[in-house]
Amino acid sequence: MQNKSSVNIGNPSKRQAEILHFAREYRRENGYSPALAEIAKYFNISIPTVHQHVSSLREKKLLTTEKGKKRSMQSLRDHKSQIVEIPLMGLIAAGGPIEAIRDPKPIEVPSTMLPPGADYYALKVSGVSMIEEGISDGDIVIVRDQPTVDDGEKAVAYMPDRNEVTLKKIYREKNRIKLVPANKTMKPFYETNVLIQGKVVGVLRKEV
């Protein structure tokens, strides 16, 4: 299973993905790219912060700029394979089981996070029980839709008896399923009836 550092190499944070989308839509509507000040105003962040994001996006080869030329910012999504949309299905607990919000909204993610041959969706994380796996409150996890996972993998688990969904590491025991948080201050819990709804394959980090 990938950890947070390996997942995010070459992939944008949530805010960086939003900046990419904004820059692309701005260029489409106006015929030229937004200035750093316009991006800063739109997202209510400082110009130095925008510059850091843009520099990071260049390093990740998701955005280009021409040195010495204003408004030259351009997303490398000229090929649609670079960025794809998947549904943001709602909120999932990483601190205690809660009911997931099923209100699909699209979110853009790099295609490099989504190997072909499977269906994917995203969930926003609530809670800190997966913090030791690099998943923090407010992060967005990318989930591959699949009915099984190996022991120790991070999974979206539906518990029909509770009609609730949670994000935990899964371990199978003789007559029950052990759901384990990645937070040493929290204890695992057990269920006899668990349906796996997907495996976590990536993380888009919340901006701080």
pLDDT tens, per residue, the chain with 208 residues: 333 333 333 567 888 888 888 888 887 777 778 889 999 999 999 999 999 998 888 888 787 776 666 776 776 554 344 678 898 888 887 655 555 555 667 888 877 778 888 999 999 898 899 999 989 898 899 999 999 999 999 999 999 888 888 999 999 999 999 999 999 999 999 999 999 999 999 888 765 4
Catalytic residue among 124, 168, 169, 199: 168
> Could you give the angle at the alpha carbon of 4 between the alpha carbons of 124 and 52, nearest 5°?
85
Q: Give the three-state DSSP class for 89.
A: strand
Is residue 129 part of the annotated active site? The answer reads yes
Alpha helices in the chain (DSSP H): 4-8, 14-30, 36-43, 47-59
- pTM beyond 0.75: no
Catalytic residue among 75, 129, 169, 199: 129
**DSSP category for residue 31:** S
Residue ranges of domains in the chain, CATH in brackets: 4-75 (1.10.10.10), 83-204 (2.10.109.10)
Question: Contact, 33 vs 70, CB < 8 A?
Answer: no
In angstroms, rounded to a whole number, what is the distance separating the alpha carbons of residues 158 and 118?
Answer: 20
In angstroms, rounded to a whole number, what is the distance separating the alpha carbons of residues 93 and 52?
Answer: 31
